[in-house]
Structures are given as structure tokens and as C-alpha cells.
Amino acid sequence: MKLAWLACMLIMLAGCANSVERVDHRMLLQPGTAQYEMAELDLFVMPMELEAPLPAFPEGIIDADVPPLEACAELWLSSEGEVTRVSAIHDLPGCTGVDGVDARPFEQSVIEALRSWSFTPARICRFREDQRDKRAKGDCRGDVEVVRLPVRLANAFRFERHHGRTDVGSRRVGN
């Protein structure tokens, strides 16, 4: 009986020793980004994430404590919603890294994750005057002109490691 109790305690302690990872992101708004001019009855529909795996905490840094650090990257999406380019961003508030921490492994993890993301296309739905109700409901189906367009999105991913626990979060930055 004591052996079973000891084995159970060891399993519980082993579970406590494992790192818990969580990833978050946020969208960033970038100054000077080109914007589309839309008519009164136009409706812009943002691309929606279909597949969006969060970046992994860089393997080579697993044992070290890491203060909160944000790695930011910009995605270029085609008019079909495909990721065509990803690059790191350094010139926005919060995207400059942390003193004493090499941000490159975090940026690389973000870039690798974003390359695998997939989206619905961004589009502008153009409604006629007699379709105001459809526009108010955001209903782009049926007899509505739909124009797909390429867009750029920027995201910030927050990484932190404290007392062996990793935390990765995200936010979108952009228009």
C-alpha cells in the first residue's frame, strides 16, 4: 500500500515539474498603412484565421527565465487568403525586445508559425441601394459584388518564462 501511495505521489510531482505552455497573440495597428477607400454601401470583411497554430517557445531557451518579451511579425496575404510573406517588425512600441535577451529565436518561432497559418480571403462586399438590409446584416451572399483583396496583418506574440513555466500570448497589431 505504501508503495502504491509513493508511486502516486511521484507521478503527481512529475506532473508539477513539467512546463505549461500557453500562447497568445494580438493584432497591431501600424502607422502609415495603406487603406482602401470604400463607398457608403461597401462592407469590408476581415480575413478569418482558419489554421493558426501558436509559435513554440524556443527550445534552446527552455531552462532560462525570460522576462515578458514581445516578438512582432507582419503577414502579407494574397487575395485568396494565402500567406505570401512574413517578416519581423521592430519599429512598433513593444516590438523592440528586452535588454539582455536575444529576440531572434523568438522571432524565428513566430515566423515559422505564421508561415503555416491559413485564412479566408479579405474582401469588400459592394451592395446596391436596394440591399441596405443585407449590408446591415453583413450578408455578402447572393447577388452582391464581392471583391477579394490582398492585405497585410501584423501580430505581436508575448513570451515569458518564470520558475520553469512558459507563457506565450499574442495580440494583433494593424488596421
**Least confident residue range of 93-102, 114-123, 128-137, 144-153:** 93-102
Q: Domain-by-domain residue ranges, the chain?
A: 21-173
Q: What is the pLDDT of residue 155?
A: 92
CA nearest neighbour of 79 among 33, 36, 17: 36
CA nearest neighbour of 164 among 57, 45, 88: 57
The CA distance from 64 to 122, in Å, is 40
**Torsion angle (degrees, nearest 10) of CA 52, 56, 153, 48:** 10
Pairing of strands 49-51, 42-45: unpaired
Over residues 32-87, the pLDDT tens digits come to: 566 778 899 999 999 999 999 999 988 877 666 778 888 999 999 999 999 999 99
Of 1 and 82, the structure prediction assigns the larger pLDDT to: 82
Q: What is the pLDDT of residue 32?
A: 58
* Structural contact between residues 144 and 138, judged by C-beta atoms closer than 8 angstroms: no
Collect all residues with Cβ–Cβ distance below 8 Å to 9 and sequence separation of at least 6: none
Q: Please say whether the structural domain 21-173 has been given the CATH code 3.30.1050.10.
A: no
Q: What is the pLDDT of residue 15?
A: 39
Distances, alpha carbon 74 to alpha carbons 22, 60, 87, 143, in Å: 21, 24, 5, 34
Q: Is 162 exposed, middle or buried (0-12, 13-18, 19+ CB in 10 A)?
A: exposed
* Structural contact between residues 99 and 68, judged by C-beta atoms closer than 8 angstroms: no
**Torsion angle (degrees, nearest 10) of CA 4, 6, 7, 13:** 150
